[in-house]
Structure 1
Amino acid sequence: MELRQLRYFLAVAEEANFTRAAERVHISQPGISAQIRQLESDLGATLLDRSGRHVGLTAVGEVALDHARSVLAAVEALRHAVDEMNGLVRGKLVVGMVTACTVTPLFDALSGFHLEHPGVEVSLVEDDSVRLVEYVREGTVDLALIGAAGRPPEDLDGWPIVSEPIVAAVPVGHPLAERDGVTLAELSAYPVICLPRGTGIRAVLDEASAAQGLTPTIALQASAPGAVLNLAERGLGVAVLSESMIPRHAGLRTVPLNDADIPAVLALISAPTKSPALRELLVHCRQTFGEPKADGPVPVGGMATG
């Protein structure tokens, strides 16, 4: 008994016709007939009723069909398991991260994964969060670290790392420096320095302002949070970043934005269909990032560019 004979038997049973079954399995009709007769000979029983216009199953054939399907399904499962392991050993992964990423646990996860699976080729792509989301949707990026407004995209698998408010940062002596908090309307009276469109932080600022009918004046924008802070420290405008992006130093004062209710979220996102290599990388990410945090400081070196 051979696996191909079981496949031929299954094809004839489902097509109820030797000609169509032969076309389905890409063999000649005499060839499929001969193989099934050999199967019947090996089993010592007639499986197919050839007396009518359509080929039917004998009582023995009915029983044999269920077993044939089970055997072929088991073989397919075996192949799938081996293919998955081969994919883990020799696969490829494309990881996306926001520009100027400083979130070191992501690097730790990549390092740990590489040590365990050196055969998997890992490449990195830097871009803003909006483009990274599209890359994941398209399947050109497997996993991405992004910033988002409120929550990760609902059509993708999202794992929020942290959720925290956006705040303003002003130099000492600025009219807002001694305030315990300001509204977005009050913020709009000053030039703002922020990250560019496509980042999570900027999306939070734009969405929260639009909800109140406000349009802040973006005087300057830079891709790196450090540049945003340096410009603000020199009096060129009010910096708007997430809370953990603003280090404590003498040059700037952090001022809460009282009515910016949409949180800035840092999240890992991936498509629902995952390769064995990606599943293993996600395990390493969970080990390095720990459980998701909410409404607190980011224990991962800040939110990068969000």
Structure 2
Amino acid sequence: MTMKMDQLRSFETVARVGHFTRAAEQLYLAQPSLSRQIAALEADLGMPLFHRGPSGATLTSAGELLLPIARRILGDAQTAREQMNELAGLRRGSVRLGATPTLCVSLVADVLAAFRREHPGVELHVTEGGSRFLVEALNENALDLALVVTRGVDPGVPGTELIPLLTEELVVVSAVGTGASESYTLEELARIPQVAFNRSYDLRVATDAAFSASGLKPVIAVEGAEMDAVLRFVERGLGVAVVPAMVVIDRPGLHSARLINPSLARTVNLARRDDVRPSAAAAAMQQFVFDAVDRLAAPGTVLARMVTPTPRVQ
């Protein structure tokens, strides 16, 4: 059996986009060339990897089995290239960083801006998704690092190390000038029209659980939006929303109030594989994350009372 890297890359791309034509476009290949690569791989393995139909391509059971293996092989090859790039002193290379949507609009933006200024030759690839999805991608070696969220005691994930960075309060945001309070109890919040996130958001799961535990049913004005839309709807006065404290940074159109009785919080973690030595670029990115957390939560800053850095051993 001889699986070639270009065959695995083609297989992974078709599996990800679900369509041969779109996969060929992403790979800058003619579709017949892509089809020949997949056919050669299937012939070598002795079984089909895709169900082909007019609406696209879906994985067979063999394809589902091969996909995480292919992603790990491709990721390991990328890691090898990154380690070779260490000889270039971070003048080139790449970092694949994953983060949840709420962190992409807060902490990640600061981290990437600082990293880019220091290492302009390093390519930055960002994947946005839920914490569970990001950990799976990390373990498939599709990411170098991930910023994920946990609450309470979360079970360990084999192969993944979680480094707690900070504990962040959830706050209630409303449009500036609406006469909002400086704090709300959960019971008070339940009576105010809210802009609610898509139910796939970790944040929505946490707030729904808090209301349910207190026997409360919140008033929902708008439901199902993504992060940017939620913040824009709140700025337009459609309702209030519960968001992490860091999201309010550089948002002058939003008023932030503390949530009390009970307060809600989450832990932001840096996730990394514990069985792979990070490339020089990934190690540098990790330090930029640590530095950004220290700046955001420094005494005297706007967030100092709502964000508590976690002592860490690097």
User: Into which bin does the TM-score normalised by the smaller protein fall?
Assistant: 0.5 to 0.7
1:107 aligns with 2:112: yes
Q: Measured at CA, do residues 178 and 282 of structure 1 come closer, stay the same or move farther in structure 2, by a change above 3 Å?
A: closer
Match of 1:163 among 146, 159, 167: 167
Could you state the TM-score of these two structures normalised by the residue count of structure 2?
0.52
Name the residue aligned to 2:207: 205
Q: Specify every segment of 5 or more residues in structure 1 that has no aligned partner in the other structure, as ranges.
A: 1-81
Letter in 1 for 2:161: D
Q: Measured at CA, do residues 151 and 230 of structure 1 come closer, stay the same or move farther in structure 2, by a change above 3 Å?
A: farther
Query: Aligned equivalents of 2:294 and 2:255: distance in 1?
Result: 30
Query: Aligned equivalents of 2:175 and 2:83: distance in 1?
Result: 56
**Contact 1:181-1:255 within 8 A present in 2 as well:** yes
Shift of 1:254: 3.1
Name the residue aligned to 2:227: 224
**Contact 1:179-1:255 within 8 A present in 2 as well:** yes
Query: What is the root-mean-square deviation in Å for CA atoms of aligned residues?
Result: 4.1
**Contact 2:137-2:143 within 8 A present in 1 as well:** yes
Query: Aligned equivalents of 1:294 and 1:163: distance in 2?
Result: 13
Name the residue aligned to 2:151: 149
**Contact 1:204-1:264 within 8 A present in 2 as well:** no
Q: Measured at CA, do residues 151 and 216 of structure 1 come closer, stay the same or move farther in structure 2, by a change above 3 Å?
A: farther
The sequence identity of aligned pairs, in percent, is 27
Q: Specify every segment of 5 or more residues in structure 2 that has no aligned partner in the other structure, as ranges.
A: 1-79, 308-314
Query: Aligned equivalents of 2:295 and 2:237: distance in 1?
Result: 39
Task: Map 1:68-87 onto structure 2 (within 5 A).
Answer: 86=84
Pick which of 239-248 and 161-170 moved more: 239-248
**Contact 2:82-2:94 within 8 A present in 1 as well:** no
Shift of 1:263: 0.8
Name the residue aligned to 2:98: 96
What whole-Å deviation, never above 9, does each CA across 1:105-134 have from its counterpart, x for those lacking one?
42146437846xx6x765332223342233
Letter in 2 for 1:186: E
Name the residue aligned to 1:8: none
Query: Aligned equivalents of 1:293 and 1:151: distance in 2?
Result: 23
Match of 2:290 among 282, 286, 291: 286
Match of 2:131 among 111, 116, 129: 129
Q: Measured at CA, do residues 297 and 109 of structure 1 come closer, stay the same or move farther in structure 2, by a change above 3 Å?
A: same
Q: Measured at CA, do residues 159 and 250 of structure 1 come closer, stay the same or move farther in structure 2, by a change above 3 Å?
A: closer
Q: Measured at CA, do residues 171 and 238 of structure 1 come closer, stay the same or move farther in structure 2, by a change above 3 Å?
A: same
Could you state the TM-score of these two structures normalised by the residue count of structure 1?
0.53
Task: Map 1:167-182 onto structure 2 (within 5 A).
Answer: 167-171=171-175, 177-182=179-184
Aligned length: 213
SS of 1:165 mapped into structure 2 = strand
Shift of 1:143: 0.7
SS of 2:184 mapped into structure 1 = coil
Letter in 1 for 2:227: A
Q: Which has the higher contact order (CA 8 A, sep 6+)?
A: 1
Shift of 1:165: 1.5
Match of 2:241 among 239, 242, 249: 239
**Contact 1:136-1:144 within 8 A present in 2 as well:** yes
Pick which of 231-240 and 96-105 moved more: 96-105
Query: Aligned equivalents of 1:231 and 1:125: distance in 2?
Result: 25
Higher strand share: 2
Task: Map 1:2-17 onto structure 2 (within 5 A).
Answer: none
Letter in 2 for 1:164: E
